[in-house]
Amino acid sequence: METIKLNDGYDMPLLGLGTFLLKPNDAEEAVYSAFKNGYRLIDTANAYSNERAVGRGIKRSGVPREEIFLESKLWPTVYTKESAVDEMLNRLGVEYVDLLLLRQPAGDYVTGYKMMEKAVKEGKVKSIGVSNFEGEPLQKILEICEIKPSVIQVETHPYYTQDELKKVLDKYDIKIQAWYPLGHGDKSLIDEPIFTKLAQKYNKSNAQIILRWHIQQGHIVIPGSKNSEHIKDNANIFDFVLTDEEMKEIAKINKNKRYYVPNPEIVAKYAQMELNDSLDV
């Protein structure tokens, strides 16, 4: 599995398994399947209500902890909770996570970020970053941080390439981790003629071509699935390379189109919801 070096010196796999919307039993099986197929990056969050299941999948796999890159995210309602990181580690059944993100730019995210910095100093977290922080919230973090974010998780795909955001991130060597990497499954994106043509050339699926595009863009991708065959296929993208001309062709289909347009008021209201820990079994 190819890796990318973060601005804090750690190496992070470019491809991993996302567990968003996976119920606990499905998440455990998906994690186990991912490890059997060479994955080493697993993404979860306390809001996904499957951290315990992810931890079980890790243990079942038998893969040494030091070979695994484990990532989770904190929900806004725990940004000021001193025990939040310890509780997360307890749910996952590990002594540390490799990457911890703030889930949304809501609530007291400045305190939340400083809490993550404290966790780094205590050896409970290796790298930190943010999710869905763009514009003013991202600039605020960059102004107050002692430890720079190493990763930002945002919507990114060939219809929405985040060119403007990258101009900011490049100054700090912050890496993009793409969610909705396949455009939320939009058939019009996946079936773009350029992807169909390249899929035929390289004997791959259109989705595999898009994931390969992400890798060559330097994006970290975490496609989610509970289907073992899909998990296997998503990882089968490291035996070919798109040419510079092909990458330029793909760049032409950018529509600056995002599938999720955040509404600050709705985000703030949604982020005030308390998590139901009993769902994480």
User: Model's pTM, two decimal places?
Assistant: 0.96
pLDDT value, residue 267: 73
**Identified catalytic residue from 10, 32, 39, 48:** 48
Integer angstrom CA distances of residue 161 from 6, 156, 175: 20, 6, 13
Over the stretch 90-144, which tens digit does the pLDDT of each residue have? 999 999 999 999 999 999 999 999 999 999 999 999 999 999 999 999 999 999 9
pLDDT value, residue 93: 98
Q: Tell me whether strands 125-131 and 151-155 are parallel, antiparallel or unpaired.
A: parallel
Instruction: Decide if 113 is catalytic.
Output: no
Classify domain 3-273 at the CATH superfamily level. Answer: NADP-dependent oxidoreductase domain (3.20.20.100)
pLDDT value, residue 174: 98
Which H helix or E strand runs over 130?
Answer: strand 125-131
